[in-house]
A and B are shown apart, each in its own frame.
Chain A
Amino acid sequence: MAKIIVMTSGKGGVGKTTSSAAFGTGLALRGFKTCIIDFDVGLRNLDLIMGCERRVVFDFINVINGEARLSQALIKDKRVENLFILPTSQTRDKDALTEAGVEKILNELKKEFDYIICDSPAGIERGALMALYFADHAIIVTNPEVSSVRDSDRILGVIQAKSRRAEKGEEPVQEHLLVTRYDPERVEKGEMLKVEDVLEILAIPLLGIIPESPAVLRASNVGMPVVLDDKSNAGQAYSDAVGRFLGEKIEHRFVKVEKKGFFDRLLRRTA
């Protein structure tokens, strides 16, 4: 049975699209047929992060409006088997997302895919509500920073009240916390919230901790999901998170300051 996962946060700029791309690619790498949908109508970016911006012909909204078939809008990833992207419109606005339209397309996708990842826009408006409404799982992307934690708490409240599962009184949406841009050095100095603090405040299970890493910008520059950079700590952390999501027991890495050797210090090497 296909599972719908929403990648959401409330706050913008915390890494929802980066995480959707990395997590979706990670699921596909493990053999699951995965589709990532961009719900940020008017501000499309998943295509750039996935490196398929020049292959967009039809989009999510075209399919909702019956202007194109789903198979015409889906973009098959060229690097990873089983991975598809459904880009959104750059010209329409969020009102184009109708509940019935979104449901129809998700139902169609469910027949073919194992996982459907809904990359939510920031905020708690229509686009974000539509992205989370049909979800079975919610991955809350949070930076260890006050405004992000507050907005994550807010979006958790929205999921618990306004998702389809909440409205129908079904099993609640399963929540997972993904802490991104974590900097163990700053945590050690007392400048950044510890992951334990964020967990204590939000009180949902921890899926992963993605360290602050230059690899994320490098990957986005070239349109590659960072999980494919398996030498990088961020890539490995995303891969671990995917494993945990699938039920594997994997210890959290990159949470302590790494002791740098003499030569590392001398050469100022970075990850």
Chain B
Amino acid sequence: MSIFDFFRTPKKASAADQAKERLQIVLAHERAGRDSPDFLPQLQKELLDVIKKYVSIDDDKVAVKLDRASGYSTLEVNVELPAPAKGAARSGGAGKVAAAGKA
């Protein structure tokens, strides 16, 4: 950096540079999503069926979320169990299971 650069206002990224950066980000996401089939709705349904065998819960109490980062993905499954019946020994509440795997 020369002494003259000190007096210059820092150069803003040009519109074209911003275009390139935005494209790189959005395409990284879209390419990652393209390779894996959209299995989440089916997974959610099957999980719900399994849980229903043991606990009676509503259809909207299971939430499945897939997050992708560079190199790995996380699958987050949120199951909201109903409040325990009065006098029940076990405590209920929300259980959370998270699994991580290679993308």
Q: Which residues of A contact B (CB under 8 A)?
A: 145-146, 149-150, 153-154, 157, 161, 187, 189-194, 197, 200-201
Q: Given A190-B14, A191-B15, A191-B16: A153 and B31 within 8 A (CB)?
A: yes
Q: Given A157-B34, A201-B20: A190 and B27 within 8 A (CB)?
A: no
A200: chain B residues at CB < 8 Å are 20
B15: chain A residues at CB < 8 Å are 190-191
B16: chain A residues at CB < 8 Å are 187, 190-194, 197
Residue of A nearest to B13 (CB): A190
Cβ contact within 8 Å between B14 and A150 = no
A193: chain B residues at CB < 8 Å are 16, 19-20
Bound CA span A200–B23, Å: 11
The dominant DSSP class at the B interface is helix
The answer, yes or no, to whether B17 is at the interface (CB within 8 Å) is yes
Question: Between A and B, how many residue pairs show CB distances below 8 Å?
Answer: 38
The answer, yes or no, to whether B30 is at the interface (CB within 8 Å) is yes
Nearest Cβ distance between residue B2 and chain A, in whole angstroms?
22
Cβ contact within 8 Å between A201 and B31 = no
B 11-29 binary contact with A (CB < 8 Å = 1; else 0) = 0001111011011101100
Bound CA span A200–B27, Å: 12
Across the A-B interface, the 5 shortest Cβ-Cβ residue pairs: A190-B14, A197-B20, A157-B34, A190-B16, A193-B16
Nearest Cβ distance between residue B100 and chain A, in whole angstroms?
26
Q: 17 other contacts beyond A146-B22, A192-B16, with CB at 8 A cut-off? A: A146-B19, A146-B23, A149-B23, A150-B27, A153-B27, A153-B30, A153-B31, A157-B31, A187-B16, A190-B15, A190-B16, A191-B14, A193-B16, A193-B19, A194-B16, A197-B16, A197-B20
Cβ contact within 8 Å between B31 and A190 = no
Instruction: Name 19 interchain pairs, CB-CB below 8 A, sorted by A.
Output: A146-B22, A150-B23, A150-B27, A153-B27, A157-B31, A157-B34, A161-B34, A187-B16, A189-B14, A190-B14, A190-B15, A190-B16, A192-B16, A193-B16, A193-B20, A194-B16, A201-B20, A201-B23, A201-B24
Residue of A153, A187, A194 ringed by the most chain B CB atoms within 10 A: A153
A149: chain B residues at CB < 8 Å are 23
Residue of A nearest to B22 (CB): A146
